[in-house]
Amino acid sequence: MIHLLYDVSSERLKKVLIRGIVKNTSEDELKCLQPQIKQFLRYFSRFETKRGDEIALDYLPDRGTRIRINGREKGVVPGSEFNRALLRIWLGNKPADDDLKAGLLGRKNL
């Protein structure tokens, strides 16, 4: 669950998410994931995020990565490979935030 602490445009949010995927994914893998990445980004196209919004990214093994914004399902991106690429934004070799990664892995108090 991502709980936004301040207003963020959908374009900015998409850029941050895609940057995290690109930093932690090989070029070959990125090529294979392009359809899923495009689908994922479409779910944020008509949504302006604001402080207090919640974005849930849940992996459902039989379906894929479900995206919910403020409790409303926006869609599901198929494939475990996409979900792994998404998780690497926070847990990969080049995470968005090293301290957050450590906290998520129980290695450090946030």
pLDDT, tens digit (0-9, with 9 covering 90-100), for 21-40: 999 999 999 999 999 999 99
**Rounded distance between C-alpha atoms, residue 99 and residue 8, angstroms:** 22
The predicted-structure confidence for 52-94, as pLDDT tens digits, reads as follows: 989 999 999 999 999 998 999 999 999 999 999 999 988 888 8
Question: Taking the domains of the chain in order of start, what are their residue ranges?
Answer: 2-104
Whether 110 has a pLDDT exceeding 60, the answer reads: no
Angle at 49 between CA 46 and CA 53, to 5 degrees: 125
Mean pLDDT of the chain: 87
**107 versus 19: which is more confidently predicted?**
19
Which residues does 92 contact at the CB level (< 8 Å), separation at least 6? Answer: 20, 23, 24
pTM, whole model, 2 decimals? Answer: 0.82
| Residue pLDDT, tens place only, 2-24 | 878 888 888 888 888 888 999 99
